[in-house]
Chains A and B, each alone.
Chain A
Amino acid sequence: MHKLYTWVFEPGFFSNAPVHVAALIGGVVAVVSAVVGVFTVIRGQSFGGHALGDVSAAGGSGALLIGLNPLLGFVGLGIAGGGVMDMIGVRRVRGRDLATGIVLGAAIGLSALFLYLDSTAGATTGATQQILFGSIFTIPSATIPFVAIFSVISLASITAGWRPLLLSTVSTDIAAARGVPVRLVGLLYMLALAVSVGLSSLAVGAILSTALLIGPAAAALRLTRRVGWALAVAGLIGVGATWLGILLAYDSYYWGSGHQGLPVSFFIVAVIFTTYLLSGLPPRASRRGAAPPGLTRQRGAALPGARSEERGTSDEGRGKAAR
């Protein structure tokens, strides 16, 4: 029993300070990414989220260059990039592709410059790895307050815009006709997205931030029918994958004889990807699949439990109404 325990949790895992910081920051960032990620997937802006990751890379590498905390660079330039994308026209479906592509290209160009200067001017040869692919075990604990503040900003934006965001995702025309300030709501979402991408750039690297944003949300959307449940499941998947990734990376130091730990980001993303593949297995997922439109009724009928239960409650409601 003890042997199995030490095989799963290699010595020192629970007493290691960098592991504590990584688990705390990773957990919080995973929750924020999951919440924003669900809205990103249903709004069809995954690619925009990825472009903001590239913008974050430019921000993070720029921040390193002038001696700032990379997180400030990730988030700061991310917000600016989100603003530019909105200006170019991320709201229109056609404009969205264009805005994303242009911002993405400019950002990668800047990253190329900053990362080159980082690794030649400074002594930090690991800058490229740290910015692009993350280095969660080396995050100083002084970063924690920033993570807390940014998480609150991102979650507060989503909470504030919750219903108008859903309504304008269903139809911007309906939302606008109801008096929803559609543009403002879009900007609020963009702010939440930019901040959350900055946070996940810190955890898994700017390039991989999309994986933490989209993966858990996409898997959760395959498994649930309601926004609230999708958020909860996405959060669980994100936190679980992050913590499991941290554990595997820690253990990897003891694998073989080379005593060389493997990157955490690889493990986190591998767990997320595997979870996404597995989420396609339950039968419910096939309901959403490629069945022809004519079969929708039969597909609906695949939910006998939900239906009969509903019939009961609505009969009750009818009875009340009649009385």
Chain B
Amino acid sequence: MDQASDGAVAPQILDVSGVSVSLSGRRILDHVSFTVGAGQFTGLIGPNGAGKTTLLRVILGLQRPTDGQVTIQGRPRSHRNQSIGYVPQKVLLDPDMPLRARDLVALGLDGHRFGIRLRSKERNQAVREMLHAVDADRFADARVGNLSGGEQQRVLIAHALISRPKLLLLDEPLANLDIRSGQEIISLLARIAREQQIAVLLSAHEMNPLLPVMDHVVYLAAGRAASGPTAEVIRAEVLSSLYGHHVDVLHVRGRVLVVAGPASGEGADLTADHAVEAG
């Protein structure tokens, strides 16, 4: 069954199917399903508290779903999955940390192994190439704790990519960056996804910075998800049914605004939207 869909466009890397998570009686995720293909840049969009981080943790195997399953390249995810690169939301790199950018990237190759590492030309070469790929050779020898937020993001992305994963997950990588650094990181990720055929899944509460590169979107609201090509998902009908109340999607000079509709008198509209989507 997978082979059929594989052949279609891009080979399918990630398949999230019917994932639900309840934590202490609260429903965090409610039957979330979507797929991500190789080379695709997918935005995981949703307001704060929508369940984005929980979803990423389920994909990583750090959180056990109450229901549903995650398959990666057609196989159920195992705990030691080398095919996922991960850049978490908060990495506090203290200035005291005696690691240069290149040391942190090297830990992406073998940081999970016990024992000390022996010198290796191949490894040093791989680290140099990775630092170059994320345009970080300038500060390769600086302490990671002394780098700016954008520079640290590049190093963490290199760290996540050096083990050649098929899937790269990033949790709110733009949260603490200024606009320009954010744009640089996004175009870097889009280039990597395209060139190395890596599936990128990136969470953000604000979709506009991602619009130029985002082919697909997983829109999460109140634990439920709508997914597909960006233009098909970011529509008033789809998002209204997701939120459970009417929202408008406004296009303003290439940017998109999702705005809550009037509080009352929209009941008829809502049912109409449901009908449209069901059809």
Contact = CB atoms under 8 A, between A and B. Distances in A.
A179 B114 contact: no
B28 interface: no
A230 B148 CA distance: 23
Contacts of A176: 62
Contacts of B79: 179
Contact of A163 (B107, B138, B142): B107
Interface string A172-194: 01111111100000000000000
Nearest to A173: B88
A44 B95 CA distance: 12
Interface string A45-70: 00000000000000000000000000
Contact of A307 (B62, B103, B117, B141): B141
A306 interface: yes
Contacts of B147: 296, 300
Most buried by B among A159, A288, A296, A299: A296
B229 to A, nearest CB: 28
30 contacts: A38-B98, A44-B94, A162-B114, A163-B107, A164-B113, A166-B99, A170-B97, A170-B104, A171-B91, A173-B62, A176-B62, A177-B62, A177-B86, A224-B98, A225-B98, A225-B100, A225-B142, A287-B146, A293-B148, A296-B148, A299-B146, A300-B139, A303-B141, A306-B141, A307-B141, A314-B131, A314-B132, A314-B137, A318-B129, A318-B132
B99 A227 contact: yes
Nearest to B112: A178
The 6 closest A-B pairs by CB, nearest first: A179-B80, A167-B111, A317-B128, A178-B112, A314-B137, A288-B95
Contacts of B68: none
B142 to A, nearest CB: 5
B143 interface: yes
Interface string A290-311: 0001001101100100110111
A164 B125 contact: no
Interface string B143-160: 101111101000000011
B137 A311 contact: yes
A180 B112 contact: yes
A279 interface: no
A34 B206 CA distance: 46
A160 interface: yes
Contacts, number: 136
A175 B113 CA distance: 11
Contacts of B115: 159-160, 162-163
B116 interface: yes
B111 A178 contact: yes
B81 interface: yes
B247 interface: no
Given A42-B98, A163-B117, A180 B111 contact: yes
Interface string B77-109: 001111010101001011111111001100100
B217 interface: no
Interface string A215-234: 00000010011110110000
A209 B141 CA distance: 34
A226 B62 contact: no
Contacts of A296: 146-148, 151
A317 B125 contact: yes
Contacts of B88: 171, 173-174
A82 to B, nearest CB: 20
B138 A227 contact: no
Contact of B91 (A162, A174, A230, A309): A174
A1 interface: no
B112 A163 contact: yes
Given A42-B98, A163-B107, A175-B111, 10 more contacts: A162-B117, A166-B111, A170-B104, A173-B62, A173-B88, A221-B96, A226-B103, A303-B142, A314-B131, A317-B129
B62 A227 contact: no
